[in-house]
A and B are shown apart, each in its own frame.
Chain A
Amino acid sequence: MAETYLSPLWISLKTVMTATAITFFLGIAVARWMARYSGKLKNLIDGLFLLPLVLPPTVVGLGLLLLLGKHGPIGQLLLHIGTTIVFSWPATVISAVVVSFPLMYMTSRGAFEQVESDIENAARTLGAGEWRVFWTVTMPLAWPGVAAGTVLAFARALGEFGATVMLAGNIHGKTATIPIAIYFAVQAGDMKQALVLVAIVLVISLALLFTMSYWKTRASLFKNIIRRRESVN
């Protein structure tokens, strides 16, 4: 009996954790690159990265299906090496990454752009290589923004429904995340199962909200430090 509730919870947690981890590093890498990039295609690339945020999730899901499906270009490639992604657990991760990426990218890019380039240059003149500059100067200074982006991405991945249901479907014990399980439970008239799952989501969401507000106070504390530093000058 408990399996009915635990399976969606377990799949959701696994999917969200994996997706957030991927989004975290991918978002930071791309944000860092775009914060520096000043080529002609900047606006176009920027728009492309943010597209999943404004498109309806079902449209994103359909796009992914066309790309990764049996007749899609990537799907064909995968078939050659004897595997398929559609209606498998990795599909839930891919959907979650695609829809949560813009939030991570947008927030951390803003945070990186706020870091004064003179401070990074100071580190370089002191002999620090790019890797050290990034981890000891840029990241600590951009951290409040990056952390906020991570929490937003986590929340978006947890709530993901449209793209996931298109690409991964509703396979119990395999691709049925909490939002999908709730939808199909209600459709099947199983209100009890739906409400228990809703309670689980509420707990996770509240925990998330607390994390957010914790980071917000940390961030504003940090901003105060910076502001005080500036007012001294």
Chain B
Amino acid sequence: MLDVKIRRKLPGFSLDISFSINQEILSILGPSGSGKTMSLQCIAGIVRPDEGYIALNGKVLFDSNKGLNLSTQMRKIGFIFHNYALFPHLTVDENVAYGISHLPRIEVTRKVSRLLDSMNISGLGKRFPWQLSSGQQQRVAIARALAPDPELLLLDEPFSALDTVIKERLEFDLAALQRSYKGNMLFVTHDLAQGYKLGSKMAIYNSGSIVQFDHKDKVITAPATSVAARLVGFKNLYEGFIAETNEKYSIVKIGDLEQNFKVITQNGVKLNINQKVIVGIRPENVRIVEHPGENTFPCTADQIVEGVSTTNFLLQINPGSIIKNYIECILLKSDAPFVANNQTCYAHLPPEHLVIITG
């Protein structure tokens, strides 16, 4: 159980967050400079919050009202730094043993070799960090953090410096680690896919505060605000008014697209006629069709970029209008129709993929 409610003010930035998790993995997602790393530093005791409260498994780590601030050493929190922060003058064995040096030597040796084994780096114990690849260094950093059996594990962008292949391999390893590790885990990332894969809950950060905190599936299907929506991949967002609403669907009048759109109503969401809302859709859910119809509007292809397995389209809405509005669309190559630059086509927004954001 981890309870966090802290504030910290800096010139031009203030952190004000509060959340609580219970034996689970929280992915913290947000743009750089939104206070993700500082949150971890506050929880680990590296940085002192101005005010607030932090408790871990019933033990109070920080309480500004009581003037209590446990030192980093006493918090029993494992921290994996984004640049690994291995001790360059110590071997892999010595790095991993650093946090358990108070144990009897035989036990240290046994534990170190067990940890290296579980991270698939046994045999590297006598090497120095600079003799390892970055993926191996990352594994050493994880083994070192796990050695003292921390009650909470903090990972600060653990994959930011790795290339794709190593990253994917480590994601599997980390998923395995999460199944075996019984404590709480906080995982900072700016990569939505990674945060979704490795977390069970998600906290969306923006300029020092949490804009949404929920189960990961809830966060990616029903973002609370337009900021959260943008961060979880709803790149197409349009303002509109509710023209009609019932239990099954709503009709939203979108000004920029100059027409009405049908949206499947989400469970438990109450909307009012004339309520101002934002409608969002992921680029991968937009379809390009040949003929007009429901939820469909004309546009011209402004930019087309072909990728390995998908093609990205930037379509200009309402060709001929003075204000330029765009919709982004990503299609599997096999699904992508042939559209030439500046050719007119129709974009279709499937009602089940449109999301109404009221925040």
As a 0/1 sequence over residues 111 to 131 of chain A, the CB contacts with chain B under 8 angstroms (1 = contact) are: 000001011011111111100
Bound CA–CA A233/B88 (angstroms): 13
- Count of chain A residues with a beta carbon within 8 Å of a chain B beta carbon: 22
A127 to chain B, nearest CB (A): 5
Q: How far is the CA of A29 from the CA of B149 in the complex (A)?
A: 34
Nearest CB of B to A122, in Å: 4
Does A123 lie within 8 Å of B88, measured CB to CB?
no
Please determine whether A125 and B89 come into contact, CB atoms closer than 8 angstroms.
no
- Contact (Cβ within 8 A) B87 A137: yes
- CB distance A119 to B130 under 8 Å? no
What is the bound-complex CA distance between A219 and B134, given in angstroms? Answer: 24
Most chain B C-beta atoms within 10 Å of own C-beta, residue among A119, A140, A228: A119
- Nearest CB of chain B from residue A77's CB, rounded to whole Å: 39
Interface residues of B in 298-345 (CB under 8 A from A): none
Complex alpha-carbon distance, A126 and B145, angstroms: 7
Query: Taking beta carbons and an 8 Å cutoff, which residues of A are in contact with B?
Result: 116, 118-119, 121-129, 136-137, 140-141, 225-226, 228-229, 232-233
- What are the residues of chain B within 8 A of A125 when measuring CB–CB? 44, 46, 72, 75, 77-79, 145
CB atoms of A122 and B85 under 8 A apart = yes
Interface flag for B144 (CB, 8 Å): yes
Complex alpha-carbon distance, A223 and B307, angstroms:
41
**13 cross-chain CB contacts under 8 A:** A119-B86, A124-B71, A125-B75, A125-B77, A125-B78, A125-B79, A125-B145, A126-B147, A126-B148, A225-B88, A226-B88, A229-B129, A233-B161
How big is chain B's contact interface, by range?
20 to 34
B241 at the interface (CB under 8 A from A): no
Please state if B72 and A229 are interface contacts (CB–CB under 8 Å). no
Also in contact, A233 and B137, with CB within 8 A (given A124-B46, A126-B148): yes
> Given A229-B88, A232-B130, A232-B133, are A124 and B73 also a contact pair (CB < 8 Å)?
yes
Q: How far is the CA of A68 from the CA of B72 in the complex (A)?
A: 45
Question: Which residue of chain A has the shortest Cβ distance to B76 in the bound complex?
Answer: A127
Contacts of B77 in A (CB 8 A): 125
* Chain A residues positioned under 8 Å from B137 (CB to CB): 232-233
Q: Which 10 A-B pairs have the closest CB atoms?
A: A126-B99, A229-B130, A118-B85, A124-B72, A122-B85, A125-B79, A140-B89, A228-B130, A119-B85, A118-B81
Are A127 and B99 in contact (CB-based, < 8 A)?
A: yes
CB contacts (< 8 Å) of B98 on chain A: these are 123, 126, 128, 136
Beta-carbon contact of A127 and B130 below 8 Å: no
Contact check, B130 vs A121: say whether CB atoms are below 8 A apart. no
Chain A nearest Cβ from B238, distance in angstroms: 42
| A201 vs chain B, min Cβ distance (A) | 36
* B132: chain A residues within 8 A (beta carbon): 232
Contacts of A141 in B (CB 8 A): 88-89
